[in-house]
Amino acid sequence: MKHERVIVVTGGEVTPACIQEITTTDFVIGVDGGAQTCLDFGIIPHLAVGDFDTAGEASLKELKRHKCVIESLNQAKNVTDTHYALTKVVEMHPYSCLLLGALGGTRYDHLLANLGLLEGMEEAGIATTILHPNNRIRLLSGPGAFTFTRSKYVYFSIQPITPKVEGLTTKGLRYPLIDECLYRGETRGVSNEWLSDVAQVILKSGKCFIIESKDE
């Protein structure tokens, strides 16, 4: 069975609101401690991956009791557990992927690594979103025109990850851009605000994060 969307639950902060995004048609992958998070919320992941240094033996036993497929990884490896999970997603060829728990926790190295993984997913043709209680992050690659629907988030930021993003036009935001250029290392695209219920971003070249956010 081909799944349209895969949910990857990692070991960072995951709230009930995040878990409510999961539907019965999604394929769920629990990554190490994220597999225990799934169990804590009453969700049995279809697949659990990781070295399970965080989840521990008790979680593994419970996953096995629920007949979850488990792929145990060595602690000494060349990719993170989350990176490995996303290689499994690419093999499945879903239309989209949602990453939960990828921004929380105390490890900023993992936070930056997870943001970087969006680029590989975009290159694989899988629309991938990182969802956090106060942030939703996606990566855009030009040329293209992209539409966003307003939800609970207040701010709409554009952060270049290539040296520059060219031919950038925005519609439906309080401070519009018209065929302009944003540069990595500058902050002009940060903290724009919604003006209408639908926003559009058009870019001719470059890659950027779209970060929708709100305060606590």
Residue 29: give its domain's CATH number. Answer: 3.40.50.10240
Q: What is the domain-level CATH number for residue 149? A: 2.60.120.320
Domain count, the chain: 2
d(CA 183, CA 171) in angstroms, rounded, equals 20
Q: Are residues 149 and 129 in the same domain?
A: no
pLDDT score at 53: 78
Q: Are residues 203 and 106 in the same domain?
A: no
- Listed in order, strand segments (DSSP E) in 47-93 are 47-50, 69-72
Q: Are residues 88 and 157 in the same domain?
A: no
pLDDT score at 177: 97
d(CA 25, CA 135) in angstroms, rounded, equals 24
Q: Indicate the residue among 73, 100, 133 that finishes a domain.
A: 133
For the question of whether the overall pTM of this predicted structure is more than 0.95, the answer is no
Q: Are residues 42 and 124 in the same domain?
A: yes
Q: Are residues 126 and 28 in the same domain?
A: yes
d(CA 199, CA 153) in angstroms, rounded, equals 13
Regions of the chain short of the pLDDT cut 50: none
